[in-house]
Each structure stands twice: as C-alpha cells, then as structure tokens.
Structure 1
C-alpha cells in the first residue's frame, strides 16, 4: 500500500466527517489536504490525550513544532522519533507518523502545511501550559483561532495554490471557528470530566450556541462565495454537519446519529443534482 492510500485509510479511521470530502478531491489537492488534516490531527490527539499530563503535552508539541520548522528542505520520516520515545506506547498511530503525513503533500505546498502545523503546535503548547483557561470571550476567540480559525486560513491557501480560487480570509477564520465552537458544545461534558471548560465565565450553552451561530454565518458566506469545484465540494459537508449538530444540540440531543448524518448527506446530494 502506498503512502497516499495508507494515509486515506488512517483518515477514514480518525474522521467520519472529513474522510468523505477529502477522498473525493482531485489527486494533488487530495494529497495536500490529507497531509494537512493528518498533521493537524496528529497534534490534536496529543493536546486531547487523556493519559498525558500538561507539561508532557506542551513539550511534545513544541518538539514537533521545532522539527517542522527545521524542515525547510524536507526531513526524514524518523526525525520525530527521539521526541516521541518517552511516550511511544501512549501515542496513537496518527501522531507517531506525523513525519509521513508531512512529506505526503506536493513539495510546492508542503512548507505551508509545515508552517501552519508548527504554529498550531506552539499555540496548543501554550494552552496546555495554561490548562486551557478561558475567562472571557476574547480568550475563547484566541483559542478557537489557534486550533481552527488558522486552519480556515490554511485551506484558503490550499484552494489558491491548486486552482487560483480566492476567498475572504475573515470568513475563512469564521469557517474554522464555527466548526470548532460546535465541537466545544458537543464535547462539553467530556471536557468538564477532564477538568477543562472552554466556556467563558458565566456562559451557558445558549451563549456558546449563539457564538457558534455567529461564526457559522461567516462560514456560510465563505462557502456561498466559492465557485463550483473542489473547494466548494470539500467545505459543504463539514459545514452541513456542523449546522445539523448545532440544531440537534439545541433540540436536546447529544449528537447527530448515523442516520441523521446520512439523511443530511442525501439532502445535499439531491440539492446538488437539482442545481446541476
């Protein structure tokens, strides 16, 4: 099995939401987006790991960042091995193989993905050092930019690299923030169980839902402005599921069921057929 096929297999195992749109992308763009997603997922799994203490998370994340920053001319797959040695048995495969995900992208866009992942790893290390303490909406904005808004910016750069598609970058940040806010709502109970609360002080779930909806307005505008093509096809599915999840949570459900997801995807498919 080649690296691209293996990466798609790991992608399918780690994300039901993103596997479908990524697997449908044209080959070069698929390699770039898969590389970016798995690199981000690799560090996200470290940030969220239930058996690592915060100092260990911060050290691992900064080690990854430094390795990626050294990769101006590329790097060997095993360049990350030393940093992982103390935690090899705890870390998931997607994290241990970050070096492979880094070299999956076409070489003319790979440095942008390394840069974005390195910056995000540093930001995650900061939040781990500070136990993800959120006091105000400004703190929440900083966190959601750190882990998701910046991903929106990276995606915009990937669309421009692939076929010249230009996007509104403020809306791109809203796209990332909106999806992350829905994740915060969906995972709130689990986060509280591990001693982390992403809600600003005094906020209820209704406040967080309003925050998510404000950002999803920007996400809708971002997606609506995309021309027909790979970028639009990619963005529509996670945005649709984010709206569906937010509606479900507002109605008292814990999450979307598999049947809910399939129904939403069928609605999108029918709508595209009508438009087409």
Structure 2
C-alpha cells in the first residue's frame, strides 16, 4: 500500500466519476469537498464490506463517530489505531487514512465536515445493527437521508462558506436522495446477494425508479438555483447529468453507464459551463 499518494490520487482511484468535478473546483473549496468525499468513502467502505460482521461494522462506525466528536484541532492515525487494529487486514487505504482526509479540509470549515461525518457514521451503525432492513417508504426516506440527504445539506453549507451561495435545503436533501436512489437501483442485484434490499415491501424497479425521478426533480430545482458565478454549479451539473443518464440507461435495460458514456457526458456538461 502506497501511503504517499495524495488525496486526489486516492480520490481518482476510489471514484473517477467524482474525481472529475472535484478536481475542477477552485483551491479551498476543492480541499473541502475532497475531504468530505474521502471521509464518506472511508466509512462507506466499512458499511459495505462484504465479509465483516454487522456487529463489527456497527462497533467501528460508532467508535469513529465518537473520535470525531472529541476532535478540536485535527486528528492523527493514533486516534483511529485502536478501532482498526483487529480488522487491519480487511480495510482499504481510503479507510485507514481517514485521519488525513479529516485534516485535509480548510480549518474554517473542517469542524462542519467532522460533524457531518460523525453523524453519518453513527447513523450507518444503526443500519448495520438492523441489517439495513427497509419495509416502508418512510424507512427508505430515513436511510436515504442518513447517507445522502444529509450530504446535500453539507454541500449547501460548503457552497455558503466558500462564496455565500444560498440554496433551498429541501432541494439539497432531494439532490442527495436522488443520487443515492440511483445507486440503490444500480446495486440492487449485488445487495440482494448479501441479503440486503433497500426496496420497500412490494416495490419493484418501477417504483424505485419513480422514487428516484421524484427526488431528481428536487435536484433539478437545486441545480437550477445555483448562480452561474459559483463553482458549485459546475460540480452539481456534472453529477446530476450523470445521475439522470444512469437512471435512463437502467430503465432501458442497461446495468450502468459505460466509461465512454460517462466521459462523453462529462464533456457535454463542461462545455455548458
């Protein structure tokens, strides 16, 4: 494991899709969004781990949350060593370097990111405890808020911190939920193999696609409200375009967008900006 790789190197390896819009952000905002994204990926890798026991996941996620709640001047690897020690061989680089990602954000906004990651980690622990059981749309709303709607709120705070951009927070939640529901559709078969489904009882792809469309309508309004002068617009427009295209592809029978389709869409989005 090469621990000398930069945050953007790890980001590119973890998600080429998010690497593109994050790498286009201006200095300061780029570090803030990259910090938040890498931290989310760090805890997400624990939540989605294919072999770790749910009780172990919940314990680790709650301990991470508590470490973050106690932080006031940044973090070191020593803060997380006791949490990771017994499962070291199972964890990926993006998780093991969470202390670096937490410290990567500008000091003026870092505590807001720490709070968001702490809260998300604690909520993920709850869902690991109950094996991600979703029976109703209310429970689906609860899950999608826990891991994505709250991300929309964090992004809104990052835009406001950087240049004063103001957004409707209900639309911010829809932006996050829309992206997450597309992921749920894309990963449904894989999730089912590990005994997990985020579809409420009686739902098929048709109902989940309709749910995604409703959330993406809020996301459309969210992006439309962003000022042309804000770098948030470029970032969100790329992500939203990919979400819509992924949903359209799945409705036509494809599992996901191809790499060439992603690159073509990104080129289209960046030409607009």
TM-score bracket for this pair, using the shorter chain length:
over 0.9
Deviating more after overlay: 214-223 vs 226-235: 226-235
Q: 2: distance between equivalents of 1:262 and 1:151? A: 24
CA contact (8 A) 2:36 2:113 kept: yes
Cα 1:50–1:198 shift into 2, 3 Å: same
**1:76 Cα offset (Å):** 2.5
Q: How does 1:31-46 map to 2 (within 5 A)?
A: 31-46=31-46
For residues 243 and 192 of structure 1, the distance between their equivalents in structure 2, rounded to whole angstroms, comes to 24
In structure 1, C-alpha distance between the alignment counterparts of 2:213 and 2:188, rounded to whole Å: 17
Q: CA deviation at 1:271?
A: 3.1
Please give the secondary structure, in 1, of the residue aligned with 2:254.
Answer: coil
State the shift of 1:261 in Å.
Answer: 1.1
Show CA shifts across 1:208-243 (max 9, x none). Answer: 000000000000000000012211111111111000
Q: Aligned residue for 2:232?
A: 231
CA distance in 1, matches of 2:158, 2:138: 28
Match of 1:154, SS state, is helix
Equivalent residue number for residue 253 of structure 1:
254
Query: What RMSD over aligned residues (CA atoms) do the two structures have, in Å?
Result: 1.3
* Counterpart-to-counterpart distance in 1, 2:168 and 2:4: 30
Deviations 1:63-102 (A, max 9, x none): 1000110102323232111110000010000001101100
| Residues 1:55 and 2:38 are matched in the alignment | no
Counterpart contact for 1:17–1:237, Cα < 8 Å: no
Whole-angstrom distance in 2 between the partners of 1:142 and 1:4: 38
Uncovered stretches (5+) of structure 1, i.e. residues with no partner: none
Give how far 1:136 is off: 0.2
Q: Confirm whether residue 262 of structure 1 aligns to residue 263 of structure 2.
A: yes
- Give the conservation status (yes or no) of the 8 Å contact 2:75–2:100: no
Following TM superposition, where does structure 1 have runs of at least 4 consecutive aligned residues deviating by more than 4 angstroms? none
Cα separation, 1, equivalents of 2:258 and 2:184: 18
Any idea what SS the aligned residue of 1:264 has?
A: helix
Report the alpha carbon displacement of residue 267 of structure 1 after superposing the two structures with TM: 2.3
Q: Which runs of 5+ in 2 are unaligned?
A: none
Q: 2:60 & 2:243 partners in 1: Cα distance?
A: 30
Match in the other structure for 1:18 = 18
Q: Distance between the aligned counterparts of 1:28 and 1:4, measured in 2? A: 21
CA shift at 1:4, angstroms? 11
> What CA distance in whole angstroms lies between the structure 2 residues aligned with 1:39 and 1:70?
16
1:83: which partner in 2?
Answer: 83
Query: What residue number does 2:202 align with?
Result: 202
Aligned length: 270
| Superposition map of 1:1-276 within 5 A | 6-228=6-228, 229-272=230-273
